[in-house]
Structure 1
């Protein structure tokens, strides 16, 4: 039995669908205050979530985009708070520059330590990551406790990321952790409110990696 059916979509090519989607986003968002460097990230987030309110709520440290692109091009490591963020990142764009995506949330030593201390794995995973690498990009989309711990470690001068992507979703401490992040003098990309999530964090990394690749094309 032939399971194919006739249909007449607007377009059938993935690249054409994406292009059309971005055109619709630009038309619908209208006037905005984002810079030319920031807007591609905003569009990528809206494209991923279909949420214009979330896109408009994004906030950028003045050096965030530049710092993120530079870190990727330097092959710096990318640390994620959960496996879902890691899975959503286009790995080949990162490894192209020699980078690596790391997530410690399931590591046996992290699980064991979290149980011993009666705390979250996210907190221990951030401690492990910051003890092993210098700089890098920290992409947090799920756990507010991970973002709060990273902020604490920065204040203690035990961590100095090149960029923090802090967009955890939720009701407990999600909004507050983002507010604390914006008080730091460290490059960050975050958003206001409870919204966020792993797809958002991954989308921001993917937008930055595309921009990093575009630099190569501009040089050629």
Structure 2
């Protein structure tokens, strides 16, 4: 679908964001990521007061993992639906979500844990050198943090941006205390659209840097 003078809706949307954003603390690749989150949510608050927080190696590690075809472990299927499928195919990244896996449901009941926690724990090996993307379940993020502390997994990047009122903000604060590259945000906001937007933005940077 085209808008004025053949400009795509996406391009025009990005132009509007640039016109309306005002002052913000981001530049370069970080701004491309934050701008994509705004594009997906229509929420300029993500760009203000350093709402999106980047570990110093987050962008570098994220781009490397995507280029190398590493796994992407997500907490809910909704994130998968929002990822650009052509990117996944071209770079051969395997997206894994076990939230509805019957084995996870059974094991979660046995361990008295949430399905989100159990799904993360069962994929410790696949997380190594990959990207963990959590947009909905704070318990999943807390489990990944614990697994990293235990030394049983070492992802290249953790995107921890769960939405909610219970433990969401706290889990993001805990994420910033570990020595693993991360992208997160302050407060209760987040969700699948934000999480997927971050990965889609990283893919766009990979493509542009390769051309």
- Show the counterpart of 1:33: 25
> When the two structures are superposed, what TM-score results if normalisation uses the length of structure 1?
0.90
Confirm whether residue 73 of structure 1 aligns to residue 46 of structure 2: no
Unpaired runs of at least 5, structure 1: 1-8
Listed one character per residue, the Cα deviations across residues 46-102 of structure 1 (whole Å, up to 9, x for unaligned) are 000000112331110111111111100000010100000111111220221121111
What secondary structure is seen at the aligned counterpart in 1 of 2:190? coil
What secondary structure is seen at the aligned counterpart in 2 of 1:104? coil
- Show the counterpart of 1:130: 124
Return structure 1 stretches of 4+ with deviation > 4 angstroms: none
- Show the counterpart of 2:167: 173
CA contact (8 A) 1:113 1:124 kept: yes
Matches within 5 A, 1:4-153: 11=4, 16-56=8-48, 57-153=51-147
For residues 47 and 122 of structure 2, the distance between their equivalents in structure 1, rounded to whole angstroms, comes to: 31
What secondary structure is seen at the aligned counterpart in 1 of 2:158? strand
Tell me the CA shift for residue 26 of structure 1: 1.2
> When the two structures are superposed, what TM-score results if normalisation uses the length of structure 2?
0.94
Change (3 A) 1:191 1:26: same
CA contact (8 A) 2:37 2:194 kept: yes
- Show the counterpart of 1:202: 196
CA contact (8 A) 2:161 2:194 kept: yes
CA contact (8 A) 1:75 1:95 kept: no
Residue number among 167, 183, 196 corresponding to 2:177 in the alignment: 183
- Show the counterpart of 1:3: none
Larger Cα-atom Rg:
1
For residues 142 and 172 of structure 2, the distance between their equivalents in structure 1, rounded to whole angstroms, comes to: 9
CA contact (8 A) 1:61 1:188 kept: yes
What secondary structure is seen at the aligned counterpart in 2 of 1:159? coil
What secondary structure is seen at the aligned counterpart in 2 of 1:194? coil
